[in-house]
Structure 1
Amino acid sequence: MFIKSKWFWFTISLYILLGIYSLTITYSKPNINIVLEEINGAWIISDFFYKDWAENKQISIGDTVIQVDGRNVEDITNVKRNLSIRRANDLTLQKENGRLVHIKVNITEIPSQFYYIFVVPFCYYLLSLIISCYLYFKHKQDLLLNLLILFILTISLAYASIGASGVQNSIGIIVNRGSMILCLVLLIHFLKQYFEFLNIKWVFIDKIIWLYLIPVLIVFFGVYSVFYTNIYQLLSQFTLAIFLVLLVVVLGIIIAGYFIYKLTPLKVLLISVVTPFLPFLVLYVVPKLLSKQPIISAEVCSLFLMLIPYSFIFTQLTERIFDIQYYITRLRYYVNFSLVYALWIGLGMYWFTDISFSKISKLLVFACISLVMLFFIKEKIDYRKRKILFSTKGDYIHRLYTTIDSIGRVIKINDLLERFAKEVALHLEIDHTYVVTYNLETHQIHSTSQSKRFTQEQIDEILLEKLHVGTIKKTEHFYVAFIHQDIQFKRILVIDHHQSITLKDEELLWLELLILYVNNFIENTKQVEELLNQLKNVHEVDRNQLPWLNKLLWIRFEEEKYQLAQELHDTNLQEQLHIAREMDVLVHTRDVQSIQSKLSEIHEHMLTSLSDLRSYCENLKPPLLDTLGLSAALDKLLQKMQRRVPFVLRYTVDRLYLEDERLNLMIFRLFQELLNNALKHSQAKTVDIHLLETKEGFEIIYADDGVGCNIDEIVLRESMGIRGMQERVQAFNGQFIIQSTVGKGMSIRITVNEREYTQTNPDEAIANPFMPS
């Protein structure tokens, strides 16, 4: 069912042909939409769509239309059938006083039509063509992608043909109605394949092929209506009704799937694909079916369809998807506020003004969208102006980061507590700030400031407060906050307010967060102090007194030896055994004439084995890495892999400029492990691996279409390959993200920020390799 190359070009050719035809018809004459009524054989103007334009041209209700583009009205079939003039270049009108008026129509005189029917459809049409070609040529061809391409092209064609359909062009009507229904059928087909991709049970009919009969029937009846115009209006209502039913089905499928499985991709799909249809459904289709008077015209509602290709640019063409859950939650939060306020304003306008319900509805939509945009803009401005908005002393969040960074550099607990007290005093501008340490064994009290002497009453006031870590309480004399407690010490922050200082909510929140960090710092500092003391004295004591260090070193050495033994066993040792068996056969052979040829074959095997052994030694310490650099070493590795792998290997290698040479070796090892895993386990047809330069480091992106795996099973059996890569990346403060599903391939993204890495010591990085980076 894949779109082969010839079918793709046939689809593109058909899209270009129909699109250019529809746009040409649209551009041939301006669309003026003047409503007529026949009175005693005269064609009288009863309403206009573009009222400002009609007023400027001095066209009035009650004027009689004599000719349209030089033809009498009774000779124009479309005008008689629809009782309206859809398009014209010039008009001849008769005023009520009998005066004849000739009017030339220029499209630039109607700005809304110029943008909605001329400029935007063409831009949308061209954008959809570019996106479809890009998707086809730059991404793996599968049914999901092909359905997306067809969906984008079809919905673009439906939009591009609105103008031709609006002027009653027969082909334009057929294209518009057929593509409008076909795009939803393609969307349902896409959903079925997408549910299978997500391993979700499909909740609609399995035989999607039958749904394609609906747009075929719509096209057939459209052709029929060209010759039998009496069914035109009926077919128009029928098409809208079918569109409504299919869109409800699409919404039902996605919403039901989301509520059953709670998967974020379905929410993304709902936002990026279905939501653009909602204005067309709610503001045009439903009112058109119920009252024959839409709230907003089809041209305006269709503008929301522009969101569809842009959403696919974001979700399909970019390699990095943003935190969609965060933005969905934020959008819902702002929309709820905006909708409630807009409805309140709408009720007020309905009660206190004489504005029609139709105009109020339009104002509500405009107000809701404007408020959502205002909230997002305000959020960005507030972030830039946060220093003056939230504090006269500066941004609390920024100060929190700088304070944590300052405190985190201290490696002794006493120094840490003194630094903490100074930072709090500096930020809150309160001199009398101390950290009180109470020894639970000796009942002695130590303060970070020797100038402060507490009375027994004050000590009791401080120590008797029952607080959780981070909780701050105001007593008669102090602000008291519990920082940390262990077996020997209890540590409390004391701020002497002299009954004249009250901390603001922002300051209390800043202090609470800082105390939580300090609590963790104290625990980590205790462990570091203990380890440093042990390591300092390691030469003075027996090594058996540090079993954890011996165990760690022994495990790492054993892991490396195991991997080396496994590689040699699976490769070079097997070749040597094969050569030995061939030599044994040759020793006992009686066929003297074949000895020479057999020796030649064995010699070739030995040369191959030696070449493999040399390559393995190069892998252990690649010589090109030191002589010609990382790019040359990776190119040689990738070229060698291309000759031996059964899959298509696609790669790009950016030239990196890294300050730490150890990163070059790490990147090379990661490429080796990723490619070896793909060769041994993936069973893939295509493997992509890319090394990309970023502003502050580099990024490795790997993807295959192989058998995939269960991530939980990898964690449970502690796969040495995956674990080794994670440990290497985390040692340099990098991020290692792996995604895989059984039968759906695997993708791995590795990101290292050298600027962040250089601020820390990678040799001290200790992390759980199976926790997210």
Structure 2
Amino acid sequence: MKKWTYCIFLTYLMLGIYVLAIAIKTPFISLTLDTTNGQAAIMDSYYTSWAHQKNIERGDIVLAIDGQPALENRSVRLFSLIRSAKQLTIQKTDGTIQTIDVKHIDMPEELYLQILFPIFYFLLAFGVAIYLWQRNKDNPPTFLLTLFLLTCSLAYISTGASARGNLIGQIVIGLCIILCMVLFIHFLQHFFRYLQIKWAYIDSKWLYFSSLVIPGCYFLEGFIPSFREITPLLNLGIFAILVLYAIYILLTSYLRTKLAKIRLIAIAFIIPFLPFLIFFVTPEILGNKPLLHADIAALFLLFIPFSFLFIQVNERLFDIEYQLSRLRYYSTLAFFSALLLTTGIALLFMGQLSVVHVTSIFLLVFMVMMASFYIKERIDFKYRKIIFSSTGNYVHNLYAAVQRMGKAKNQQELLERFKFEITEKLGTTAFLIRTVTEDTPAPMLGSYYTKLLLHDAGDEKIMLEIKHTLQKEELLWLELLALYVSMSINNLQQIEDLVLEVQHMKNTSDTPLPWLDKLLWNIIEKEKSILAQELHDTILQEQLHLARELDVLAGTPIIQRDTILDIREQLLNATKDLREYCENLSPPLLDTFGLQIALKKLIQKVKIRADFLVSSQIERVEFQDATLHLVVYRLVQELLNNAIKHANATEVSLTLRAIPQGFILQYEDNGVGCDIEDLIQSSASMGINGIRERVRAFNGDITIQSRHNEGMHIFIQIQEDGDSYDEHTYYR
């Protein structure tokens, strides 16, 4: 996957640089000509203000384009159109001849819409794609989302090269506007599986054939020139059908499920593509004049990187409400700031800027400010310890205070730590924590007391009273910390009650507590049942078989030495199996030599008894929590046992990689695979469910992908700090 990803990014950079270089090399002018009289007479100009500025009028004769005769130009011969030029030689109606140098700076619309905006989009899309890929390297939906973003970018930045008649630019834009839609629908199909929503639409793999139509049309143009008129319409037609189909999928699925995640994706897709479809594509297909030129209608595509930056699929979407609130907040700030700045620029250059100029400036400023806000947020978070003082950074201090107070072992120690935090943070000792036995009276008018309830036990209340003027941030900090103290006191009292109850049971030798007895009994019986089943299916059966052989041997007059040695060998094998069970219950190598050696020994044993090849890459991992070593060992053990019992594979791959404060465990086989939903319902799912429950217990993340006859792929990630992704299982 990494090699393919690098190739894709490299291809994107090479094609992007090439089509942008074509656009930068020669200015786009689009002069419509009349060549019926054997002369290239100007009929119309795409940039009327530029033509007026250069004194180019209807009826002028174009004699030469970049020093070459006008009628020898390929675009003039085929389409009666001058697409681009650096220099024009024109004969006026009065017979005078003038030479016009064409520059990008003379046509601001062309400079912004075909040079600056595409360059900005090119870099922005590449940056967002790298960001998504780094966060979710092994996630197929995110990979498809990245490809969608890159193909949209290529389609947009190729408009300049295509408009100039460059064949590669035309092929790139024709292929990418179709391929981006297919990739988006393919992404939706994967995402629906993640949401466990039935995909009731066409399998996306069949849609990829539609992207082959355009290269085929360009191939036929070499033999059938009339295809030059059919290809653009066919291209736009397929694009329109795919856009409408994607909108249909999003709307029908949202109406069926009412999921906010689908609503977010629908908004992020419809806003950029629907205006382009309505204002340009549809009129063009119907043979009418587009309501907006292609380069202007395509400006809406600039919203795609910002929209889909929020749709990150590594087993989840972002917290949507939180992300939408950030988007609304930053959008509001950016909108009004861009509006004020654009208004100021328009007033400063009154009469010199067209509506297109002003709109372009507004969009550019808006997007730059949006990106700046998000970049500032990341920089502020990274350097928060530098730009905020220890007394002003209340959020960071609250987290640190909770960490310190969480080490308290009883209520008295908790309250002492709470007092210390107040003294250190607020810089005052004018407060009191006391227990009251009656309702707290309302504070007297004019009093400086701030009163907070820390604990309410009915007849008794623990109150914090502080005679100190508090700022808003200080009061919020104190209220949040008091809330934590209140919950901690409740938890500590419950623990103390349980401890006292158990201690009382021990001292009085009374009947054990029912709940404790039931819990311990269930745990012990469950483990005994598992062990009994394993011993019954293996060693016990072997012992019964040996007992029958001894019965037969006892009835024979002559005891053969070979038979005795064979029975002895079987007894040794049974003893060896029993020793392995004991090692599995408590792996001795794990404590003696560490996790890496223990896993390698386990894999060696599996290689001996399994009928498949095992390839492994086990890195050295270290954890602060010693139980995680046993967790990793049990996960690997269960995965390999599952492969032996159910996979029917010929090759099994196992990789253990260390990451900051955790590990990643990847398992793959080429076995029979399964339907995950059917597996969960069957008895064979005990191993898989055991793995899932073990991962969930440590706030980990597990991905299971499998289909019939396509093997099984399992991805597990656990981090000690609890910052791993939300728990889920993604089924493919």
Out of 454, 463, 474, which is 2:440 matched to?
463
Please tell me the residue identity of whatever aligns with 1:76.
N
Out of 236, 241, 249, which is 1:253 matched to?
249
The CA deviation at 1:437 is 0.9
Counterpart for residue 735 of structure 1: 699
Out of 580, 597, 618, which is 2:583 matched to?
618
Counterpart for residue 65 of structure 2: 68
Counterpart for residue 396 of structure 1: 394
Counterpart for residue 485 of structure 1: 456
Please tell me the residue identity of whatever aligns with 1:735.
N
Q: Deviations over 1:622-667 (max 9, x none)?
A: 3433444321210121243355557776653221245665543443
The CA deviation at 1:275 is 7.3
The CA deviation at 1:180 is 3.1
The CA deviation at 1:215 is 5.5
Q: Is 1:519 the equivalent of 2:518? A: no
How far, CA to CA, are the matches of 1:492 and 1:614 in structure 2?
Answer: 61
Contact kept in structure 2, 1:88 and 1:105, CA below 8 Å: no
Counterpart for residue 35 of structure 1: 30
Q: Does the C-alpha gap of structure 1 residues 584 and 255 become closer, same or farther in structure 2, counting only changes over 3 Å?
A: farther
- Please give the residue correspondences for 1:341-380 in structure 2 after superposition, counting only pairs within 5 Å: 341=336, 356-380=354-378
Contact kept in structure 2, 1:433 and 1:496, CA below 8 Å: yes
Counterpart for residue 236 of structure 2: 240
How far, CA to CA, are the matches of 1:687 and 1:156 in structure 2?
Answer: 39
How far, CA to CA, are the matches of 2:246 and 2:336 in structure 1?
Answer: 30
How far, CA to CA, are the matches of 2:338 and 2:127 in structure 1?
Answer: 38
Q: Is 1:86 the equivalent of 2:86? A: no
Counterpart for residue 676 of structure 2: 708
Out of 174, 184, 195, which is 1:177 matched to?
174
Residue range with higher mean Cα deviation, 530-539 or 401-410 = 530-539
> Gaps spanning 5+ residues in structure 2: where?
none
Counterpart for residue 293 of structure 2: 294
RMSD: 6.0
Q: Does the C-alpha gap of structure 1 residues 711 and 222 become closer, same or farther in structure 2, counting only changes over 3 Å?
A: closer
How far, CA to CA, are the matches of 2:334 and 2:567 in structure 1?
Answer: 81
Contact kept in structure 2, 1:685 and 1:706, CA below 8 Å: no
- What SS class does the counterpart of residue 409 from structure 2 fall into? coil
Counterpart for residue 630 of structure 1: 595
Q: Which has the higher contact order (CA 8 A, sep 6+)?
A: 2
How far, CA to CA, are the matches of 1:419 and 1:124 in structure 2?
Answer: 50
Out of 629, 641, 663, which is 1:676 matched to?
641
Contact kept in structure 1, 2:310 and 2:323, CA below 8 Å: no
The CA deviation at 1:369 is 1.7
- Please give the residue correspondences for 1:307-322 in structure 2 after superposition, counting only pairs within 5 Å: 315=313
Q: Does the C-alpha gap of structure 1 residues 588 and 73 become closer, same or farther in structure 2, counting only changes over 3 Å?
A: farther
How far, CA to CA, are the matches of 2:466 and 2:543 in structure 1?
Answer: 76
How far, CA to CA, are the matches of 2:387 and 2:657 in structure 1?
Answer: 39
How far, CA to CA, are the matches of 1:437 and 1:265 in structure 2?
Answer: 48
Q: Does the C-alpha gap of structure 1 residues 489 and 738 become closer, same or farther in structure 2, counting only changes over 3 Å?
A: farther
- Please give the residue correspondences for 1:512-661 in structure 2 after superposition, counting only pairs within 5 Å: 512-533=479-500, 540-542=507-509, 544=511, 553-581=520-548, 606=571, 608-642=573-607, 644=609, 651-658=616-623
Contact kept in structure 2, 1:26 and 1:163, CA below 8 Å: no
Q: Does the C-alpha gap of structure 1 residues 338 and 248 become closer, same or farther in structure 2, counting only changes over 3 Å?
A: farther
Contact kept in structure 1, 2:121 and 2:153, CA below 8 Å: no
Q: Does the C-alpha gap of structure 1 residues 117 and 422 become closer, same or farther in structure 2, counting only changes over 3 Å?
A: closer
How far, CA to CA, are the matches of 2:647 and 2:26 in structure 1?
Answer: 59
Query: Normalising by structure 2, what TM-score?
Result: 0.71
Q: Does the C-alpha gap of structure 1 residues 702 and 414 become closer, same or farther in structure 2, counting only changes over 3 Å?
A: same
- What SS class does the counterpart of residue 735 from structure 1 fall into? coil
Counterpart for residue 408 of structure 1: 406
Out of 433, 436, 452, which is 2:434 matched to?
436
Contact kept in structure 2, 1:31 and 1:86, CA below 8 Å: no
How far, CA to CA, are the matches of 1:430 and 1:123 in structure 2?
Answer: 50
Q: Does the C-alpha gap of structure 1 residues 323 and 604 become closer, same or farther in structure 2, counting only changes over 3 Å?
A: farther
- What SS class does the counterpart of residue 27 from structure 2 fall into? strand
Contact kept in structure 2, 1:484 and 1:491, CA below 8 Å: yes
Counterpart for residue 458 of structure 1: none
- What SS class does the counterpart of residue 356 from structure 2 fall into? helix
Q: Deviations over 1:524-560 (max 9, x none)?
A: 2223334555677777542646666655555544444
Query: Normalising by structure 1, what TM-score?
Result: 0.68
> Gaps spanning 5+ residues in structure 1: where?
1-7, 441-461, 466-472, 757-768
How far, CA to CA, are the matches of 2:273 and 2:625 in structure 1?
Answer: 52
Counterpart for residue 323 of structure 1: 318
- What SS class does the counterpart of residue 571 from structure 1 fall into? helix
Contact kept in structure 1, 2:32 and 2:82, CA below 8 Å: no
Please tell me the residue identity of whatever aligns with 1:510.
W
Q: Does the C-alpha gap of structure 1 residues 551 and 341 become closer, same or farther in structure 2, counting only changes over 3 Å?
A: same
Contact kept in structure 2, 1:697 and 1:755, CA below 8 Å: no
The CA deviation at 1:195 is 4.2
The CA deviation at 1:267 is 6.3
The CA deviation at 1:123 is 12
- What SS class does the counterpart of residue 436 from structure 2 fall into? strand
The CA deviation at 1:584 is 5.7
Contact kept in structure 2, 1:174 and 1:223, CA below 8 Å: no
- Please give the residue correspondences for 1:162-241 in structure 2 after superposition, counting only pairs within 5 Å: 162=159, 165-169=162-166, 173=170, 176-185=173-182, 187-188=184-185, 191-192=188-189, 195=192, 199-204=196-201, 209=206, 232=228, 236-237=232-233, 239-241=235-237
Q: Does the C-alpha gap of structure 1 residues 81 and 255 become closer, same or farther in structure 2, counting only changes over 3 Å?
A: same
How far, CA to CA, are the matches of 1:437 and 1:309 in structure 2?
Answer: 54
Residue range with higher mean Cα deviation, 473-482 or 565-574 = 473-482
How far, CA to CA, are the matches of 2:493 and 2:292 in structure 1?
Answer: 75
